[in-house]
Structure 1
Amino acid sequence: MTGASLEGVARQELTQARYGYAFALPAMLLIFGIILGPSLVVIGISLTDYELGALDWRWVGLGNYQEMLGDRTFWRSISNTFTYVAILVPSAVLLGLAVAIMVHARTRTKRIYEVIYFLPVTTTLVAMAIVWNFVLHSKIGPVNAVIVALGFEPIGFFSDRDVVLFSLALIALWQLIGFNMILFIAGLSAIPQDLYDAAAVDGADGWVDRFLRVTWPMLGPTTMFVVVTTTITAFKVFDTVAVLTNGGPRGASEVLLFSIYLEGFEYFRIGYASALTVAFLTFILLFSVVQAWVIDRNVHYR
């Protein structure tokens, strides 16, 4: 090729690159305006002592983070959040997978069961929390009525420090199973029948062998997505705590997001609440990256 032709090709590639950046610019601006911009603002405010409604504020640097590390309430909310996540995530993933396998195996009534299990996902969790408050009420709730009828002591689902996080996780589990089921059903539908036929020829004709040798490995990408999204959802627990327990009893259900709410909108300490928010976002980012890295190493991509 001559020098003129090479120059023409380079000019054409440069023009195409400019068009590409031009088309991507609106999306980049939207991402910055909705995600990156507010995040940078929160980080900036976390370095100040700004209080809601105050006319002046001081630059305190890492002072809010130093206070956070010595705050017993912060560490208690971290412990409650991690306990809640540890209860909810394995249960929501495994039960969602189990329900998906059972529903996917059905023929005539498959759509009916999909709708039934997915209904909790479409409901407003705050409204359903009120219903759950009645169902699990320690005195008038039907669950405790059955427990007392069986000869046992009633359980304070929202007033017992040892039970409250399990009760909140149960409500979230009720809503998450249907969502995870739909994701797993999509993954199950994408598994070729030829793989099951080949496994049967090799002697893996039992349902356990079929699941361990074909279904579970082929669901690797779906499982990774479900685990990461479920973990993020678990970390974001707030609605049920605010409606049902208000962080009680004696702080046993005060999770990190609820602590941020209290610091920012009850005590008006926006600077300190922003520091807690940065810590919250850091936890979610680290957990998502670690989970994706660990699971991705054992995922089979077709």
Structure 2
Amino acid sequence: MSEAALPLALAAPTPRVLPRPGARAEAVAAWLLAMPALLLMWAMLLGPAVAVILLSLTDWSLGEPEMPWHGLGNYVEIWADHVFWTSLRNTAIYVGVSVPATVALGLGAALLIEGAGRGRAFYRAAYFLPVASTLLALALVWEFMFHPRVGFVNQAIALVGIPKHDFLNDPDTALLALAAIGIWQNLGLAMVLFMAGLTAIPRDLYEALAMDGADGVWERFRRVTWPMLGPALVFVVAITTIRSFQVFDTVAVLTDGGPSKSTEVLLYTIVENGFTYLRSAYGAALTAIFLALTILLTLAQTWLLDRRAHYG
């Protein structure tokens, strides 16, 4: 193109792109198809969350006819509430103990069952049974197992020369005992999810590794199994963290938050304020903080692990 024709070409109008026939009808149809799911999401998740946040900005108690505006007063009170900080610390300890142990033991169980020649179906069902069972009923079984004199746990440690101990009534061990129950409950779910990830690993990767002369158990795990389990690990950590953060049943049945509030977790504090003390707005503020912490923790873990996950 000559230099004289260049300004004319630049000044020429850009041809208008006409919309594809039927594009608007397709967009309307897509919104109509998605509307039931959007309405259900709003009714079950987003709507209640917005209602809780609005309630937390009031000073309403259950049964009162009016709902006076309180602004951020509940959150200021929470900041100065030592019970909240105690429950938050206990929740963090519970999650910090139960999540790594559940992930490690679940992966170990999945590897052992996957390598077993027989009885895979039996072991899967046996490990998954606590997940499908009612924890409220099984908590009573665990209360007997932790009995200071005749419980199975104390009988077992007595065989190796360790003195018997009242784990659930000692402030130093009660939370760890509840964490052990949580690990036992979530272990089966982690195992099943890891087994699904193991099944999805292509077998030819192990064959290629064997051709390179690295066919040892540790080499197979380090070079193939662990990298390819990245997506499953992201999901298992996220689900286990959420389930551990929501611990309530064992606390309510076995310890009632004691002794000396050593096992009072965040969800137990929410229920106690909202339904025992009838401080609905204060409980709503605690719930809003609980939701925010759960979302932030899950997003942070997913982001950190997802960067290292291999999606092949």
Distance 2:161 2:52 in 1: 53
Q: How does 1:122-137 map to 2 (within 5 A)?
A: 122-137=132-147
Distance 1:200 1:74 in 2: 55
Indicate how the Cα distance of structure 1 residues 117 and 109 shifts in structure 2: closer, same or farther if over 3 A, else same: same
Q: How does 1:85-96 map to 2 (within 5 A)?
A: 85-96=95-106
Q: How does 1:160-239 map to 2 (within 5 A)?
A: 160-239=170-249
CA deviation after TM superposition for structure 1 residue 137, in Å: 1.1
- Residues 8-51 of structure 1 show CA distances to partners (whole Å, capped at 9, x for unaligned) of 85340000010000000010000000100000000000001110
Indicate how the Cα distance of structure 1 residues 292 and 152 shifts in structure 2: closer, same or farther if over 3 A, else same: closer
Unaligned runs of 5+ in 2: 1-15
Task: Name the residue aligned to 1:30.
Answer: 40
Distance 1:80 1:94 in 2: 22
Q: Any runs of at least 4 consecutive aligned residues in structure 1 with deviations exceeding 3 A, and if so which?
A: 6-11, 145-152
Aligned equivalent of 1:271, options 276, 281, 306:
281
Distance 1:301 1:8 in 2: 38
Q: How does 1:247-258 map to 2 (within 5 A)?
A: 247-258=257-268
Distance 1:150 1:294 in 2: 41
Q: RMSD of the TM alignment (CA)?
A: 1.4
Indicate how the Cα distance of structure 1 residues 202 and 35 shifts in structure 2: closer, same or farther if over 3 A, else same: same
What is the aligned-residue identity percentage? 47
SS class of match (1:54): coil
SS class of match (1:254): coil
Task: With the length of structure 1 as denominator, give the TM-score of the two structures.
Answer: 0.95
Task: Name the residue aligned to 1:3.
Answer: none
Indicate how the Cα distance of structure 1 residues 288 and 150 shifts in structure 2: closer, same or farther if over 3 A, else same: closer
Distance 1:95 1:151 in 2: 26
Distance 1:273 1:101 in 2: 43
SS class of match (1:99): helix
Distance 1:217 1:66 in 2: 46
Aligned equivalent of 2:88, options 54, 78, 86:
78
Structure 2 residue 14 is matched with structure 1 residue 21: no
- Which amino acid is 1:297 matched to? R
Distance 2:235 2:84 in 1: 29
SS class of match (1:257): helix
Q: Which moved further from structure 2: 216-225 or 192-201?
A: 192-201
Quick check: which has more Rg, 1 or 2? 2
Number of aligned pairs? 297
Structure 2 residue 191 is matched with structure 1 residue 142: no
Distance 2:221 2:161 in 1: 41
Task: Name the residue aligned to 1:246.
Answer: 256
Indicate how the Cα distance of structure 1 residues 146 and 293 shifts in structure 2: closer, same or farther if over 3 A, else same: closer
Q: How does 1:44-59 map to 2 (within 5 A)?
A: 44-59=54-69
Q: Which moved further from structure 2: 196-205 or 138-147?
A: 138-147
Unaligned runs of 5+ in 1: 1-5
Structure 2 residue 56 is matched with structure 1 residue 40: no
- Residues 57-112 of structure 1 show CA distances to partners (whole Å, capped at 9, x for unaligned) of 31110110011111100000000000000000000001000000000011321111
SS class of match (2:168): coil
Indicate how the Cα distance of structure 1 residues 219 and 147 shifts in structure 2: closer, same or farther if over 3 A, else same: closer
Task: With the length of structure 2 as denominator, give the TM-score of the two structures.
Answer: 0.92
Distance 1:87 1:203 in 2: 38
Task: Name the residue aligned to 1:69.
Answer: 79
Q: Which moved further from structure 2: 112-121 or 84-93?
A: 112-121
